[in-house]
Copies of this chain bind each other. A is one copy, B any other.
Amino acid sequence: MNKLLIYQSDFGLVDGAVSAMEGVALKVDLDLTIRHLTHEITPYNIFEASYRLYQTVVYWPSETVFVSVVDPGVGTKRRSVVAKTKDDKYIVTPNNGTLTHLAANIGIVEIREIDKNLYRKETNFSHTFHGRDVYSYTGALLASGKIQYEEVGKKLDLDEILCLPLSEVEVSENLVRGNIDILDVRFGSLWTNITREDFLKLNVKYGEKLEVTIYNGDTLVYQNQIVYGKSFAEVMVGSPIVYINSVFKVGIAINQGSFAKAYNIGVGSAWVVELRKAK
């Protein structure tokens, strides 16, 4: 193992929760390299946790261990697992949908349920903080090489991976219809589920215009023509742009502005985006 241990949660960084997880891990092995994906996942938002893993995991070295704790079901019978991805990363997480995007986009090759005998025993066990006493501890044992993946616990069937529903993209001759998966929060850009490959079927070239229509359920929220560009600065400051984002899907942004705030746009399967080649 490469000793890299990466954390994600919805705990925020305002109290001692993340530090307690780190301490537990470094008590297992002082040589672990601990890094953080984010701890600002919207509380209880499993879809977002799943997406952030998908956005990030691929850029890390093989054998990296990720601990993701967005766990509204802590203390219930939801299973605690370690998944192994096709590109040889390990994800320590409740089996509650957090593996959705990795399963759909990267592939999970094996999944094991964490054996209760592995849980941290040193002090009292918390029924509300499995991030510390189950996930961080197991992640540290695995990343440090103190246990092998096979020793995590019994193998589950791959179809036992709990996956959230993902919306489909529809492609017809002059139309691509998808939805808004998530925001590039800081900059207010919309990240759709439309891949570059599907988008290119519209046969639009850089500098040409698209007709962009956005619905929230049945309600029309936005309709206008937007230029397709490589990067934000190809349009004037304050102007909108359709582009391919850093996960190689269609994004919609305002150069140095926030598209999401400008038009009060949210995320999820109800937020539909239609792209047509403008005439």
Residues of chain A having any CB pair with chain B under 8 Å: 2-4, 6, 10-20, 22-24, 26-27, 30, 33-40, 43-44, 52-53, 55-56, 58-61, 64, 72-76, 123-124, 126-129, 132, 182, 184-187, 230-234, 243-246, 248, 251, 255-256
Contacts and interface: CB of A to CB of B under 8 A. Distances in A.
A246 to B, nearest CB: 4
Contacts of A124: 248
Contacts of A243: 127-128
A38 B24 contact: no
Contact of A19 (B20, B30, B44, B56): B56
A72 B230 CA distance: 13
A248 B128 CA distance: 10
B185 A128 contact: no
A127 B246 CA distance: 8
Secondary structure type dominating chain A contacts: loop
Contacts of A230: 75, 127-128
23 contacts: A4-B26, A4-B30, A12-B186, A14-B38, A14-B40, A15-B38, A16-B38, A18-B38, A19-B36, A20-B55, A24-B59, A26-B60, A30-B33, A30-B61, A73-B233, A74-B232, A75-B230, A75-B232, A124-B248, A126-B245, A127-B230, A127-B244, A128-B231
A200 B276 CA distance: 65
A40 to B, nearest CB: 4
A215 B38 CA distance: 36
A220 to B, nearest CB: 28
